[in-house]
Amino acid sequence: MKKALAITLAAVMVAGSLAGCGSGGSSETTAQTTAAATTAAAKTEAATTAAKTEAAASGETEAAAAETDKEWYGNDDGTPVHIRLWAGVQPEYGYQQLVDNFNAEYADKGIEAEYVMYKNDTSGNMQLETYLSSGGEVDVFVGYGGRPTLLNRIEANLVMDITDYIEAYHFDLDDNFGKVAMADWRFGDNNDRIYGIPTKAEYRPWMFINEDMFKEAGIEIPYDGWTNEEFLAAAEKLTHGEGIDKVYGVQWGFDYTFSAWKGLMQSVMFPYVTYADDTATAVAYDNPIWKEQLEFTKKTIDLGYAIPFEDEVSEGMTLQTTFLQGKAAMTMGISQMRLILDNETYPHDFMTAVVPGPVPSEEYMDGVHNLHAQNNSAGDIISIAQNTPYPDACFEFLYWYVTGGQIPLVTYGGRMPLYNGIDLDQVVELTAAHAGDLLDTQSLRNYAGLDKSLVVNPVSLTYASTEIDDVFKEEVQAYLQGSQDIDTTISNLVTRGNDLIAQAIAAKGE
């Protein structure tokens, strides 16, 4: 009897644990399919009823557009639909406020949004992609990593084609986000399909400086740009102290914001920075400017003005542990502006200014190169999950987000909007009101007011771009830590990069 009981129990346990996942999954899928079917019907309806006024296209803010939206996005039984927004930023830097605002505004329209944060690193992105392919967890998401990342996800069928919605909403992307900026985000054979809308204007070669330290050392704030030479002189004056108390002139951010430092070095070479031309069949590392810029970085380290590569890596240094603690007078990492604005978590009592990073020489001091305006890496791409059961509600949310809903991200997160409909004065005012004495308002105005139409898109065809970036980091680290000379470094970068490209092309069978 006992044995029989044991057997039954064991069998039930196993069956239960197996069936548990199986049935749970399938019922969810059924629910999704039904929901998808109903919304598909509603979608066509939306396309017709949402023959919007031209308000959106002319760049007015969200209020005008929202009024023309359909009345109810929720379920037929009167309950709201619940959509989840995934992005890689802590909720307190604007996202919580954003969904709260949305929920207040859409309470009677049947959409409820929830914010879910994912970590924007290898495993976090893997988590996002896994959820995107399994369905049910992500409805709208903000992606990073530029065109190659989005392209990968499009090819994996994880991202919804929103071109028809955009047409139905009469939403002119070129007008609202800049023709050139948008050009990088069109896909498909005719380059006319949209899978995501860039929301953030970001100029990576810009940097943060500790204005108090500058004033103390009697250095003029380089609002209008500077050369490497002028930068070096400033770094020298700003560096002082020894051992654990040493204050460095600059922290390049080799560990926590490598791409920002790389972005500064390559700024004047844009767009041929990684690939030598539009065919992307060879790397660009033999451009003499690469050598010049790398040697300049090495010089700042050798002279003791910059935190050495090995120190940054072995200590896992971040902007929070150095710049915000007064251990470095300048730092890269403009995408981290939210940390500068957050005096609660990272208390500091000095004023920060955002200034353009230095250019190699006087010849780059003209408008475009000097202020790095062509280097607008339009980012924070907002997309809809391919298998969301609520595409209508998702697009309505996306539209609301990109046309002004994102304001809290500006205020609390220091993320400058790409959308033309948001007024520059408003951006500066809102950020300044939140930042108080922490941020030099004039410098922010310079940054936020850069001419967005000057953007130059990166080479859109890419091969093995992640691997090539890793090779770059590896070889450059060896050079900056003194274990190989510059010529070997350049030659390794070229050989290894070209090998990777050749392999990737061979693998694609082209």
Partner 1 sequence: MKKDQGRRKRILRENLIAWTFLLPSAVGMVLFSLIPLLISLYVSLTDWNFASGLGNWNFVWFDNFKQLWSDSWFIASLKNTLIYAVITVPVSLVLSLILAAVIDDFCKKKAAGVVRVAMYMPHICNSVAISAVWMALYSKYGPFSLLLRALGWSDPPRFLADYVWALPALMLVSIWAGLGYRVFIYSASLTALPRDLYESADIDGGTWFQKFRYITVPLLKPTTFFLTVTGIISSFKVFAYTNVMTKGGPGSATYTMVYYVYTTAFKYNRMGYASAVAVILFFMLLVITIIQWIHNSRDEKR
Binding site for partner 1 (CB under 8 A): 3, 6-7, 10-11, 13-14, 17-18, 122-123, 126, 129, 133, 152-153, 155-157, 244, 309-311, 313-316, 464, 466-467, 470, 474-475, 477-478, 481, 483, 496, 503, 507
User: Tokens 């009981």 — which residue?
Assistant: 5
> Measured from the CB of residue 70, what is the shortest distance to partner 1 in angstroms?
33
Question: By C-beta, is 53 or 483 nearer to partner 1?
Answer: 483
> Measured from the CB of residue 228, what is the shortest distance to partner 1 in angstroms?
25
- Helix residue spans in 193-279 (DSSP H): 211-216, 228-238, 258-266
> Measured from the CB of residue 248, what is the shortest distance to partner 1 in angstroms?
13
> Measured from the CB of residue 251, what is the shortest distance to partner 1 in angstroms?
14
> Measured from the CB of residue 503, what is the shortest distance to partner 1 in angstroms?
7
Question: By C-beta, is 327 or 338 nearer to partner 1?
Answer: 327
How deeply is 190 buried, as exposed, middle or buried, from its count of CB atoms within 10 A (0-12, 13-18, 19+)? Answer: exposed
CA distance 67 to 168: 15
Q: What is the CA radius of gyration of the chain?
A: 25
- Helix residue spans in 156-282 (DSSP H): 163-168, 173-177, 179-183, 211-216, 228-238, 258-266
User: Tokens 């959509």 — which residue?
Assistant: 83
Question: By C-beta, is 171 or 256 nearer to partner 1?
Answer: 256
Question: Quick check: helix, strand or coil at residue 128?
Answer: helix
Question: By C-beta, is 211 or 475 nearer to partner 1?
Answer: 475
Question: By C-beta, is 342 or 475 nearer to partner 1?
Answer: 475
Question: By C-beta, is 154 or 166 nearer to partner 1?
Answer: 154
> Measured from the CB of residue 306, what is the shortest distance to partner 1 in angstroms?
15
Q: What secondary structure letter does DSSP report for 403?
A: I
Question: By C-beta, is 13 or 424 nearer to partner 1?
Answer: 13
> Measured from the CB of residue 452, what is the shortest distance to partner 1 in angstroms?
30
Residue 348: which residues within 8 A CB-CB, separation 6 or more? 324, 325, 326, 438
> Measured from the CB of residue 484, what is the shortest distance to partner 1 in angstroms?
9
Instruction: Say if CB 179 and CB 420 are below 8 A apart.
Output: no
> How many CB atoms sit inside 10 A of residue 480's CB?
22
Residue 327: closest CA among 309, 341, 343, 306 = 306
> How many CB atoms sit inside 10 A of residue 423's CB?
11
Question: By C-beta, is 220 or 315 nearer to partner 1?
Answer: 315
> Measured from the CB of residue 290, what is the shortest distance to partner 1 in angstroms?
19
How deeply is 148 buried, as exposed, middle or buried, from its count of CB atoms within 10 A (0-12, 13-18, 19+)? Answer: middle
Question: By C-beta, is 279 or 483 nearer to partner 1?
Answer: 483
Instruction: Say if CB 398 and CB 162 are below 8 A apart.
Output: yes
